[in-house]
Structure 1
Amino acid sequence: MLTKVPANRADYPVLTALWRRSVDATHHFLTAADRENIQAALPTYFAQVDLQKWLINDELLGFSGTSDTELVMLFIDPAYFRHGYGHEILASLITTDQLTTVSVNAQNPGALQFYRHLGFEITSQAATDADGRPYPLLNLTRPTTA
């Protein structure tokens, strides 16, 4: 059974290790230096979001970070890729947190396909990521029904 549990500072090392496994499997476009710099900054990023751990049978399978109605981060352990957990997590967050926006790296077509499959549409783009690195972002919005 999938369970959402609030994360805290004590969880940062295990979340960082999961982030690294996930990024190594999906973010081939990152330079080694940028990967290391982002990893070093994760505690700062974690502290800025509503950080949740996602467990299956008490085993960590991923984590998410939200801010208001924006999904800021969602990372799944590669061992759990393509089992439907990402969809289940996102569907839960859409319902509980009323998520409507997310940004994805343009060089990560798998993530774009994932969000588009769940109803998100590209609404704008940026030439760099939020920290000014040369990784274009696609900003997506999920239309809401009135």
Structure 2
Amino acid sequence: MNEINIRQANKSDYRGLAKIWLQASIVAHDFIAEKYWHLNQEAMETDYLPQSTVYIAEGVKTAYGFVALLDTHIAAIFVKPEYQGRGIGRLLIKHVMKSHKKLSLNVFQKNFKSIEFYQKLGFVVTDESIDDKVNESEFIMYWFEELNTPIPLSAIFDYHPYGAQCTTEKPLPQLLEGQIIEIPSLEDDTVFNILEEKGKEIVIANLDRYILLQLILDQLSCFYQVQIRNGRITILNALNEEERNERWKKFYTIYEKYFQPFSK
């Protein structure tokens, strides 16, 4: 294989890239009827690719694969079947990572190979959806450029999170997309001692620490969409007003169930 060059695609490339899309889609998605991909090849060439920012990985005379972006969303990444397993897909992803602080994508849940590939590159599953066109479940995955050293949960919750009055008196600090927050273990007295000092009207000693920590995380998720994984929280994005109100309704349901008996 020749030296690989990555460049931005133009209109004259789209027909060849649509052929790569067709070949690679059939191989990667054997759980979807082959006819579906053939029926959509023309739309890929004339509609989807022209709407995207597309980068090609190519040699002297051969296009090996491409990645297509809609803003920060990876709409497509495909490599010719005969060139797969040679690091081309990784090069394409790394190329777009250089110019973006966050990326997202959808991947079919049955596409185990691709899911593992994305996870190795730092993508995490944040949600699920259904592709109505083929009635198949998907994972929504995100990648963020690491902003800085993870911050401890106690740096955010330096007040007790026990009701609306606390969040209005001292709201959560503005957190950036991609910020990583360390979750304390249930044996870590530091964060819980801070909370006990701030929450004297509640008998913390009688409240299970797992429930307390879960409520802290629930309150954080009333302001942000978060990913919780391997003892860390990653801030995905701030919620809008409607989403915050909906999350608060759920939070108060939990609050009334667990905290009311201890706050009387």
The answer to whether TM tops 0.5 is yes
**Paired residue for 1:142?**
143
Q: Which of 119, 122, 125 is matched with 2:125 structurally?
A: 122
Structure with the bigger RCO (C-alpha within 8 Å, sep 6+) is 1
CA RMSD, aligned part only?
1.7
Larger CA deviation: 94-103 vs 115-124: 94-103
1:72 and 1:128 mapped to 2: Cα distance?
13
Identify the match of residue 54 of structure 2 among 39, 51, 55.
51
What whole-Å deviation, never above 9, does each CA across 1:25-61 have from its counterpart, x for those lacking one? 2111111332222223202111111022211344210
Question: For residues 114-141 of structure 1, what are the alpha-carbon distances to aligned partners after superposition, in whole Å with 9 as ceiling and x for unaligned?
Answer: 1011110100010225xx4312211001
* Counterpart in the other structure of 1:88: 91
Give the 4+ runs in structure 1 shifted more than 3 A: none
Matched residue, 1:100: 103
Amino acid across the alignment from 2:121: L
Distance (whole Å) between structure 2 residues aligned to residue 31 and residue 56 of structure 1: 32
Residue identity over aligned pairs, in percent, reads 21
TM-score (norm 1): 0.88
Deviations 1:56-78 (A, max 9, x none): 34421001101221111111011
Note the residue ranges of structure 2 that are not aligned, 5 or more in a row. Answer: 148-264
- The number of equivalent residue pairs is 144
User: What is the alpha-carbon distance in structure 2 between the residues aligned to residue 58 and residue 107 of structure 1?
Assistant: 34
Structure 2 match to 1:33: 35
Q: Give 1:83 shift.
A: 0.8
Higher strand residue share: 1
Please give the alpha-carbon distance, in whole angstroms, between the structure 1 residues aligned to 2:34 and 2:65: 23
| SS of corresponding position for 2:58 | strand
TM-score normalised by structure 2 residue count: 0.51
Work out the CA distance in 2 between the residues paired with 1:145 and 1:104. 23
Asked if the contact 1:93/1:99 (under 8 Å) is kept, the reply is no
CA distance in 2, matches of 1:40, 1:31: 17
Partner of 1:109: 112
5+ residue gaps, structure 1: none
